Amino acid sequence: MNHLGDYDVIVIGAGHAGIEAAHAAAMLGAKTAVFTLSLDAIGNMPCNPSIGGTAKGTLVRELDALGGVMGLAADATYLQSRMLNKGKGPAVHALRVQTDRKRYHEYMKHALELTPGLAIHQAEVVSVEVEDGRVKGVVTQLNGEYGAKCVVIATGTNLGGKIFVGDAWYASGPDGMHAANALTESLKAAGLPLRRFKTGTPARVHRRSIDFSQLECQPGDPDNELQPFSFMTDAPMHNKVECWIAYTNPETHRIILDNIQRSPLYGGMIEGVGPRYCPSIEDKVVRFAGKDPIFVEPCGENTEEMYLQGASSSLPEDVQNAFYRSIKGFEQIEIMRPAYAIEYDCVDPTSLEATLESKVVRGLYGAGQFNGTSGYEEAAAQGLLAGLNAARKALGESQLILPRQSSYLGTLVDDLVTKGVMDPYRMMTSRSEYRLTLRQDNADQRLTPIGREYGLVQDDRWAKYQHTQNILEAERRRLHETHLRTAELRAAMEEAGLAPAAEGGIAEELLRRPEISYPLVAKLIGWGEGITPMLAERLETEIKYAGYIARQDRMIRDVARHEKTLIPADFEYADLTGLTLEAREKLTRIRPKNLGQAGRIPGVSPSDVAQLSIALTVREKT
């Protein structure tokens, strides 16, 4: 064995989770190294080349507000940008961009190369060294030994990866990367509770083989409405490409059903559990037979590869050819990379603390698909939290726990460590009780002060944040103090095709009306200094929904009281005979940190929480 160095933090994997973990740890001053199977796979997008989407877009904004990299990378490499759910309330508005896959990789590789204090190694880590229940370092395939105070595992789908296409299978990670099998055995030996999950990806096809005249065009938003992911991005934005939509039909379904037993998913070859909210086309045909959309998206500006979102499959290549070609516009389709399913190892996330540190091996952290999640955005957000906490632990500083009422990231982590997962976890707005408060537009207000406190938000971002808050506060005062005359307001509303208001009034009060927008008000009193369309939308939301937001804030304060009731680490649940047997078993296994977390554990009822509250009060008095 060759001892080649010592680090405060070592990150295994340089996908979306590993990038953010390594960047965060190094930016906090920890001596950090990131290990990747290939430098050419840093920031790889093995599934669809896009960032954001419903709930996921909020995660990216939160990640950016904390000082992460993904939002900046998405803004620098997007091809098309759209705000989803604009016809619904602001709580579910979600930014999504189509991304240039190669340029995204190049941006992220260079971002890591420019990160001070970060070493980048191309090497396979084959074991994590553990001594007396604590992580000690890692060993590579080339017998290189590296010491570490903390290690972050961000292995994506490479850990024990196995590819399936029909009756063919082979050990592999995504995109032909080799599987990391030896590391699985090392983690099992260390006592980590591992399981098998599965995901999949559709075929990539040649642009020239698609008849776009038969497809439905899906353009991006108008350039004057485009919003960036990063609160630091000021450059003008414009869309570069169009996306398209095709649809399956009864013939597509017939071909799939006639060959369903040739799918390893239905033939019994795959043992891993697949994502509930992103099913393969086989699953959709069997379970929800209907006219399924397939989104045709470019993989980059300088490639002819097109991605068929919504049509992932593990069927044999001949069946893939047949069912894709049954779709209108795809009759001459040329598959460049066939669809496949991939099975991989991950950890039971209830074995993690809310800091993402393992309860089994101290100093070992998990992030991304290793923790049982799916999606680039979920992975990156966890990566930042794991890297931040690993660095702070290595440096002897306090760690960060984000409560679920603070952020989607806090909700995601709380769900993982408290409720666990039965299939790959995907963030959705419905998972949060506080989604009107946890909007994408106010992520900086919620999280940038936290990022500053914990050392990730640098001076330039902090100055930008303070400047934005000053702009918003000045405009709130102006709207509160400005009166609109009845005649001018009526004329503006009639010109906009709206029923005229009965009378004028204070601008802020008028904005509470659903038909009156900030741009309409600004037409009469001028746009506030420094107010962008993005900030205008944020102000309008805060004013229109002020009552609902205040009610949700009261709910958050009520919940916070339970969160403050801490449960000692050595508390004996077995002694509480008033609890159900299921509650005692789950509380003993998960070891919640406070009464609020205890109440969110599946199988722990409100009466169990009441009994536990009484027992904690008695213990405190004795």
Higher-scoring residue by pLDDT: 571, 397:
397
Q: Average pLDDT of 553-578?
A: 85
- Give the span between the Cα atoms of 154 and 369, in whole angstroms: 7
pLDDT at 35 exceeding the cut of 90 = yes
The model's pTM is 0.94
pLDDT tens figures, 512-543 = 999 999 999 999 999 999 999 899 999 999 99
Copy the structure tokens of residue 506: 């204070």
What proportion of the chain, given as a percentage, has pLDDT over 90? 79
What is the predicted pLDDT for the residue at 622?
A: 73
Higher-scoring residue by pLDDT: 283, 311:
311
- Give the span between the Cα atoms of 156 and 175, in whole angstroms: 12
Helices within 51-91 (DSSP H only): 56-65, 70-77
CB atoms within 10 A of CB 249: 13
pLDDT tens figures, 51-63 = 999 999 999 999 9
What is the predicted pLDDT for the residue at 547?
A: 92
pLDDT at 304 exceeding the cut of 90 = yes
Q: How confident is the model at residue 556 (pLDDT cuts 50, 70, 90)?
A: confident
- Give the span between the Cα atoms of 38 and 245, in whole angstroms: 34
What is the predicted pLDDT for the residue at 152?
A: 98
Task: List phi, psi (to 5°) of 217.
Answer: -75, 140
What is the predicted pLDDT for the residue at 266?
A: 80
- Give the span between the Cα atoms of 105 and 77, in whole angstroms: 9
Q: How confident is the model at residue 104 (pLDDT cuts 50, 70, 90)?
A: very high
pLDDT tens figures, 203-236 = 999 999 999 999 999 999 999 999 999 999 999 9
What is the predicted pLDDT for the residue at 274?
A: 73
pLDDT at 577 exceeding the cut of 90 = no
